[in-house]
């Protein structure tokens, strides 16, 4: 990686800066209690959440591959896990979906080191966000986690209806930022969406390897902590 060329740093949002996994589990566990799901249907949060996690991951994968639409995901990501446990209450899935998004935007949990590394980088580079997350909650996430002050532009896949690794979202982000392919780097936790997508577009990339999977691509550093960015940028 050639840091001398870098002027613009693009971060993925969920699980790169904003702790989506942690915030999601806390939110859902509280919703489970508020809706008295265990009392009504004799299903524990732990067993339900395991099913929800698997279904949600597959739906996001299908969305990224354009096999389903955003509306399909929103309709099914709670309906399907409830149906797995034979819970078919009319409207429960969509009510959960709307409440989930409303609560998630208010959550403040960040990935360890997010605040410190943005403070460090913002003195040297122009910082941007490029995310596959929903546009209606992404800005709230940044604002409530006190990260928005570091961000110059926010690009969400919903703006043009395509998702990373599609070149078109990188083109949109590049244009909004006023950056070039030569002076930009993307940092993210999704190897395909962020690293393969970013490098195919022409950016440099850094992979946040949260699960120590150790994929390899020439010129792409792997890090396991955001603090390691101080050695690279």
What pLDDT is stored for residue 38 in this prediction? 96
Start and end residues for every CATH 3.40.50.1000 domain found in the chain: 3-19+109-232
What pLDDT is stored for residue 211 in this prediction? 87
Q: Integer distance in angstroms from the first to the last C-alpha of the chain?
A: 10
What pLDDT is stored for residue 146 in this prediction? 96
Mean pLDDT by 10 residues, the chain (233 residues): 96 97 96 96 96 95 90 95 96 95 94 97 97 92 96 96 95 98 98 97 97 93 97 97
What pLDDT is stored for residue 65 in this prediction? 87
What pLDDT is stored for residue 10 in this prediction? 98
What pLDDT is stored for residue 67 in this prediction? 92
Start and end residues for every CATH 1.10.150.240 domain found in the chain: 21-104
Q: Can the peptide bond before residue 25 be classed as cis, meaning omega within 30 degrees of 0?
A: no
What pLDDT is stored for residue 23 in this prediction? 96
> CATH assignment of 3-19+109-232, given 3.40.50.2030, 2.40.110.10, 3.40.50.1000, 1.10.1040.10?
3.40.50.1000
What pLDDT is stored for residue 14 in this prediction? 96
Give the pLDDT confidence of 35-88 residue by residue, as tens digits. 999 999 999 999 999 999 999 999 999 998 889 999 999 999 999 999 999 999
CA dist list (Å): 213 to 38, 111, 186, 190, 216: 36, 18, 19, 11, 9
HSE (side-chain half, CA atoms, 13 Å) at 44 = 3
- With DSSP H G I counted as helix, E B as strand and the rest as coil, what are the percentages for the chain, rounded to 5? 55, 10, 35
Q: Considering the domain delimited by 21-104, tell me its CATH architecture.
A: Orthogonal Bundle (1.10)
DSSP state of 169: H
What pLDDT is stored for residue 203 in this prediction? 98
Q: How many CB atoms lie within 10 A of CB 155?
A: 24
Strand partners, 223: 208
What pLDDT is stored for residue 149 in this prediction? 97
Q: How far apart are CA 141 and CA 179, in angstroms?
A: 24
Give the pLDDT confidence of 76-95 residue by residue, as tens digits. 999 999 999 999 999 999 99
Residue pointed to by tokens 């980088």: 121
| HEC secondary structure over 178-218 | CCCCCCEEEEECCHHHHHHHHHHHCCEEEEECCCCCCCCCC
């Amino acid at each position: 990686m050639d840091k001398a060329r870098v002027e613009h740093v693009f971060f993925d949002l969920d699980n790169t800066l904003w702790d989506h996994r942690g915030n999601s589990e806390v939110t859902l566990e509280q919703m489970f209690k508020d809706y008295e799901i265990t009392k009504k249907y004799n299903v524990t949060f732990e067993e339900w959440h395991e099913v929800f996690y698997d279904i949600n991951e597959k739906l996001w994968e299908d969305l990224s591959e354009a096999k389903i639409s955003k509306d399909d995901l929103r309709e099914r990501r709670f309906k399907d896990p409830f149906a797995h446990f034979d819970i078919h209450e009319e409207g429960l899935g969509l009510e959960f979906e709307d409440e989930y998004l409303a609560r998630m935007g208010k959550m403040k949990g960040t990935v360890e080191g997010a605040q410190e590394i943005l403070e460090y980088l913002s003195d040297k580079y122009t910082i941007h966000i490029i995310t596959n997350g929903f546009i209606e909650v992404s800005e709230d996430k940044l604002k409530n986690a006190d990260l928005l002050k570091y961000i110059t532009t926010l690009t969400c896949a919903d703006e043009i209806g395509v998702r990373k690794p599609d070149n078109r979202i990188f083109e949109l982000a590049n244009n909004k930022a006023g950056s070039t392919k030569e002076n930009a780097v993307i940092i993210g936790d999704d190897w395909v969406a962020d690293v393969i997508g970013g490098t195919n577009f022409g950016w440099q990339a850094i992979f946040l390897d949260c699960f120590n999977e150790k994929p390899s691509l020439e010129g792409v550093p792997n890090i396991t902590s955001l603090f390691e960015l101080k050695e690279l940028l």
